[in-house]
Amino acid sequence: MWYVITVVASLVVVIGVIGGLVVGSGEKVVKDEYGAEHALRGLRTKAFAIAGGTAILWVLLSMLFVWHTVDAGHVGLVRAFGAYTGVKEAGLVTTFPWETVEKARIRNASHELLMDGGPNGTAASKESQEVFVVATINYSLEKSCVQELYTNYGDSYYETIIEPRAKQIFKAETVKFEAVGILPNREKIRRETQAELSKQLETFCVRGLDFLLTNVGFGPAFTTAIEEKQVATQQAAAEQNRVQIAKQQAQQKIEEARGSATSTRIQARADAYAYSIRRRNLTPQLVEWERIQKWQPEIVYLPSDSIIYSGSRGSTPQTAPPTSP
């Protein structure tokens, strides 16, 4: 299309130049200020001659070459008469009029891989539970063999060679695990899929492949069962925690009771031992002395060494105990 537009525009310019040359090719006689006559050739003749030559040169160049722009991260695949004949680097490139340039991304290509049921299919676990997956595949292409890749598979090479292999390898990995083990082993499944896919695509010019799992899910029934199991597990853990706390509290009370009983026994033994000592050393004078001690606030001592009179309780006079038993 660009070639056709260029040729048409060039022809219009040439026609205009030729017309200008014809119109401005004559001479014109003019008089100066002194009345002398001069023959003045039209200046338009020279101007149109220059423009005409330039236009003709542009037409010739347009007939020989066509200009194209190839973006960074791409290469230009030159195609002539239905076949790929060469590869152009990124930048401004030229081709012959009978050639076209098809841009091919070779750097940071990205595609989404869907295994969400329906025509996209699903993966499966060891017990045949459906596994739904959304993934992203990033990769680059080796520039030296892009022409061969497009010659054999065209611009739909991803749908032809990459996507089917990615699905097949991922299915082979998920079937190794039960459904409940897929999420805990998600990273392992991703690494194994990426490694095997990279290995298989080496012969197809694919380099720097990165396989990313965006989402992994299961069917509604299994998801509900997992949620119920998680709730039951949490409740069981909470109940076990309560039982453990009750056991600890009971054990604490047992230890407290055991300590109290031990303390009581020790105190009883001490009291018994003290009582036995007192009985062995008990004398009438000591008994009388202890009885008087109980009345101590109401005892009045007279200035006598041997007689004590009681207070308001009407006790009879008592003899003071000896200074030593």
Q: What is the mean pLDDT of residues 40-65?
A: 63
pLDDT > 50? residue 40: no
186 by DSSP, 3-state: which?
helix
C-alpha 166/C-alpha 152 separation (Å) is 20
Amino acid sitting at position 262? T
The gap between the terminal CA atoms of the chain, to the nearest Å, is: 140
Is residue 37 very low, low, confident or very high in pLDDT (cuts 50, 70, 90)? very low
Q: Among residues 99, 73, 71, which one has the least CA distance to residue 84?
A: 99
Least confident of 42-46, 205-209, 250-254: 42-46
Query: Any alpha helices (H) in 112-219, and if so which ranges?
Result: 146-153, 157, 163-174, 179-182, 186-201
C-alpha 73/C-alpha 89 separation (Å) is 9
- Where along the chain do its domains lie? 1-64, 69-105, 108-218, 228-281, 284-319
C-alpha 111/C-alpha 133 separation (Å) is 14
Q: What is the CATH number of domain 108-218?
A: 3.30.479.30
Predicted confidence at residue 324, as pLDDT, reads: 46
Question: Phi and psi dihedrals of 270, rounded to 5?
Answer: -65, -40
Q: What is the dihedral of CA 142, 143, 147, 148, to 10 degrees?
A: -30
Query: At a CB cut-off of 8 Å and minimum separation 6, what does 160 contact?
Result: 153, 154
Q: Among residues 63, 157, 161, which one has the least CA distance to residue 102?
A: 157
Predicted confidence at residue 19, as pLDDT, reads: 53
The per-residue pLDDT of the chain, averaged, comes to 77
207-222 confidence digits (pLDDT tens): 999 999 999 988 887 7
Q: When comparing pLDDT for 255 and 288, which is higher?
A: 255
Please, are residues 13 and 50 in contact by the beta-carbon 8 Å criterion?
no
pTM: predicted TM-score of the whole model, two decimal places? 0.55
pLDDT > 60? residue 299: no
* Residues 223, 226, 232, 234, CA torsion sign: negative
C-alpha 98/C-alpha 82 separation (Å) is 11
Is residue 254 very low, low, confident or very high in pLDDT (cuts 50, 70, 90)? confident
Residue 111's DSSP bridge partners are: 137
72-89 confidence digits (pLDDT tens): 889 988 998 888 888 888
